[in-house]
Amino acid sequence: MQFSVDLVARLGASVPRTAPAHLVMAIVVATSLTTPVALAGQGLTFNQGQSVAPAFEGWEQNEDGTFSLLFGYLNRNWEETPNVTVGPSNSFSPGAADRGQPTYFLPRRNRFVFKVEVPADFGDQELVWTLNVAGQELKAYGSLLPEYFLDNVVIMSETGTLGAGTSDPELREHEPPVVSLETPQEIEARVGEPVRLAAHVADDGLPEPDDNRLPVTEEGELDVGRAKQMIPSRITVEKVTGLHMTWFVYRAPEGVDARGSVRFNPPQIHPWEDTRPYSNSPWAPFWVPPTPPEDGRWTTEVTFDEPGTYVLRGRADDGGLLTDNDVTIRVAE
């Protein structure tokens, strides 16, 4: 994870480029305890103008003997969503520059965003993802080092479903949601005309949905005083569990700011780690998962204000594991 290595370097620690994510973060925490002045500078947050750091999350072995390298990213902005077309500023090497990576970067931390399949004989090679945003070039190095091995328990721990170092016998058998798209994977649309998105989602009921209700008075109204006292202080991410389906922009035409030009109805749950209290995000304190439709069919509409080719991603997430499906929409004037 390039951004964590950069942070450790600024704090005065030394780690190898190939250090796994959990080791890097352990060093960050340990170093921060002895460098309060340096750490204070890291507490600054920005709405715009900052870089996007690619991150190598780990690898999985596939049944056919091949491997999948999993990547994510950290957009250091809370509001700006850079749109970086595949090319010199958003590319893989060696080999093909386009490996299915996003071109539209949502705010903050986004883990396990996409997979790149590599052959069974990949061995000790590296696959490098390079991003250049806000004038800062950063790289993530994908490899098959043993310490980067991923399974579902590790993924649930990294995303905040499980506490650090914990496990659950039931969750070890947990499977991601099963999604059947009722929407074509390629759609022709026009500017200003709503497009219907529909999917049927089935799940095994794990992990059990959180009862994350806000405190209310005897009259059933929000108890503001108690709610303010309940805002937690979190050292690591913590995710509210509960099945939901959400759509978001994965790729957008060059030069298009999808924040204002792509409109979902109803508004969609944030798929990124929005930890602000009361945000519409599973990582937000007091977020309450929606009640799943009785027939398992989740529907929404999307409207585009700018022409071009978009890739939208539909994500079924039960709070533990997730399933992604992409839909390409070509929007004409």
Residue written as tokens 């060059």?
A: 254
| CB 239 within 8 Å of CB 161 | yes
Question: pLDDT tens across 231-267, in order?
Answer: 665 566 789 999 999 999 999 999 999 998 999 999 9
Does residue 34 register a pLDDT over 90?
Answer: no
Question: pLDDT tens across 156-193, in order?
Answer: 989 888 766 666 777 778 899 999 999 999 999 999 99
Q: How far is CA 315 from CA 134, 144, 308, in A?
A: 28, 27, 22
Which pLDDT band, with edges at 50, 70 and 90, does 230 fall under? Answer: low
Which stretches does DSSP call E strand in the chain? 52-61, 67-75, 90-93, 108-118, 127-133, 136-142, 178-181, 186-190, 195-202, 244-251, 262-265, 297-304, 308-317, 322-332
Q: What is the model's pLDDT at position 165?
A: 62
Structure-model confidence comparison of residues 159 and 112, the more confident one: 112
Q: What is the model's pLDDT at position 231?
A: 61
Percent with pLDDT over 90 in the chain:
67
Structure-model confidence comparison of residues 64 and 43, the more confident one: 64
Q: What is the model's pLDDT at position 166?
A: 67
Whole-number average pLDDT of the chain? 86
Token pair, residue 258, equals 């999808």
Which pLDDT band, with edges at 50, 70 and 90, does 43 fall under? Answer: low
Type of residue found at 281: S
DSSP secondary structure string, 31-43?
HHHH-HHHHHHHT
Which pLDDT band, with edges at 50, 70 and 90, does 212 fall under? Answer: low
Q: Which of 8-17, 217-226, 239-248 has the lowest mean pLDDT?
A: 8-17
CA separation for the pair 131, 128 (Å, rounded): 10
| CB 174 within 8 Å of CB 320 | yes
- Residues with Cβ < 8 Å from 282, sequence gap 6 or more? 239, 240, 241, 242, 244, 269, 289, 317, 319
Does residue 22 register a pLDDT over 60?
Answer: no
Which pLDDT band, with edges at 50, 70 and 90, does 293 fall under? Answer: very high
Q: Is the dihedral of CA 223, 225, 227, 229 positive or negative?
A: negative
Structure-model confidence comparison of residues 293 and 213, the more confident one: 293
Q: What is the DSSP letter of 186?
A: E
Q: Stretch 278-289: mean pLDDT, rounded?
A: 90
Structure-model confidence comparison of residues 254 and 27, the more confident one: 254
Which pLDDT band, with edges at 50, 70 and 90, does 26 fall under? Answer: very low
Ranges of H-type helices in the chain: 2-11, 21-34, 36-42, 152-159, 169-172, 224-229, 258-261
CA separation for the pair 7, 42 (Å, rounded): 8
Chain center to CA of 141: 18
pTM strictly above 0.85: no
CA separation for the pair 105, 129 (Å, rounded): 14
Q: What is the model's pLDDT at position 46?
A: 93
Q: Stretch 264-282: mean pLDDT, rounded?
A: 95
Q: What is the model's pLDDT at position 210?
A: 77
Does residue 99 register a pLDDT over 90?
Answer: yes
Question: pLDDT tens across 139-158, in order?
Answer: 999 999 999 999 998 999 89
Residue written as tokens 């620690």?
A: 13
Indicate the SS3 state at residue 175. Answer: coil
